[in-house]
Amino acid sequence: YKYIMQVFPGLIANDIMSSFSISASGAGALVAATFWTIVIVQLFSGLVLDKFGFRFISALSLLVSSVGLLLFIYAANHGDLSLAYLGRIMIGAGVAFATVSYIKAVSVWFPPEKFAFVTSFLASAAMLGAIAGQAPLSFLITHTGSWQKGLFICALIGIIGAIIYVCIVRDKNPNADFQKHESTKFSWQAIKNTFFNYNNWLLTLYSGLSFTAIDAFAGLWGNNYFREQYQVSTEHAAGMISMIFIGLAIGSPVIGKLSEKLDKRKPIMLTFHVFATLSLAIVLTVKTSPLVASILLFIFGFCLGIYMLTFAIGRRINSIIVAATVAAFINTGEPVLGAIFDPLIGYFLELTWNGNYINAAGQIVHYAHGHVPVGAVKHFAVGSYHLAFSILTFSMILAFILLCFVKDKAYTEK
């Protein structure tokens, strides 16, 4: 559900600009409001979950995000940008607990040696949500007649999900023998140690720099790029982007199991990261074909399954009593960089804009200054996308460099 909330703007980027009469950078800023909210909320989401458990807190957060989506739909129907920002903020506040809640649950219910493999299924489930937020959601929007109706159904699903969560999830594991060697009592000193461990900072920056390619590309600008690059439909472009999520959904448990068998995390991450960077760079800079681009995006997603190993390292180098706090800390890197890169890409697109617009009929036209009709949105050439997307390749390279300095050393009780 979190990733449906994060990637659906990519399907309606032009509709967002049209509904609120804003530019590409304005649309990027509106979408980024969710990421900034996740950053702020995650500062204490781990503390809340470590202190009060994940059952009711997570169900409540799911409900908040669903109501936020309903508010965003209402704002679009009335052209109320302020209300749209409030809706995006509520979505961010809700989904900020998603990943952290799962990591905490795995820490409680599974022994450390199973952590990497079990945690990998978080990525699989999340990517199923991201897949649903592309081609299937595009199909739903098309067949309900409007994106507002399609997203309204998504909001109802979230509300039902919150009810199911409360009925099924439990905070305590009565058979957790593997926790006997570690203290499970909440400690502020352990929280302090989390923020003074430089490895946690490196993992946070790594997760943000590597995963922002998915948030910025698949979440907002990728659909428009593929439609311009290959002259395909919105549904076809969404299907191509979905290959990232299919790859990640498959790659994450495969890589997680591989790391469990070899008892290695960092070497595996470094190796797969190189292939992820190369495949993404080709897609963002070279025109191939829709099929080749889809295959490369699958490889990129599969290799980026290493992302979940950052949480495995975080669990390994920190105490179990701060599992949610550590997960929140590491996971903060994604929304921070996402909030920066979304509008930054929009800025570079605006910088190289050639002055053309897309009118209500879908035609590319040039209007004289002051004569732009309502509903027309700026048209960006392929070259503009190539320049703007170069920062995503750079972020992958920088992430690799930071990963080289991470120390994967097991935590010992002091």
Residues 333-378: tens digit of each pLDDT = 877 787 788 788 888 888 888 777 776 666 677 776 666 676 677 7
Distance CA 235, CA 241 (A): 10
| Closest by CA position to 379, among listed 360, 361, 353 | 353
The residue-averaged pLDDT of 166-192 equals 69
Its CATH architecture, for the domain 2-167+197-367+376-403, is Up-down Bundle (1.20)
The torsion of the CA quartet 71, 74, 79, 80, rounded to 10 degrees, works out to -30
279-295 pLDDT, tens per residue? 999 999 888 899 999 99
Q: Helices 115-132 and 98-109, interaxial angle, to 10°?
A: 150
Structure tokens at 351: 């910088």
Q: DSSP secondary structure string, 288-313?
A: --HHHHHHHHHHHHHHGGGGGHHHHH
Distance CA 295, CA 177 (A): 44
> What is the structure's pLDDT at 75?
92
Alpha helices per DSSP H over 53-146: 55-78, 81-95, 98-109, 115-132, 135-144
Residue 181 has pLDDT above 60, yes or no: no
Three-state SS annotation for 131-187: HHCCHHHHHHHHHHCCHHHHHHHHHHHHHHHHHHHHHHCCCCCCCCHHHCCCCCCCC
132-156 pLDDT, tens per residue? 777 788 888 888 888 899 999 999 9
pLDDT above 70 coverage of the chain, percent:
92
| Closest by CA position to 72, among listed 24, 139, 6, 164 | 6
Q: Label residue 296 by pLDDT band (50, 70, 90).
A: very high
**Collapsed DSSP state (helix, strand, coil) of residue 200:** helix
Q: Please give the DSSP secondary-structure letter assigned to residue 321.
A: G
82-115 pLDDT, tens per residue? 999 999 999 999 998 888 888 888 888 887 778 7
Distance CA 323, CA 311 (A): 9
Average pLDDT, the chain: 84
Number of separate helices (H) and strands (E) present in the chain: 19, 3
Distance CA 152, CA 157 (A): 9
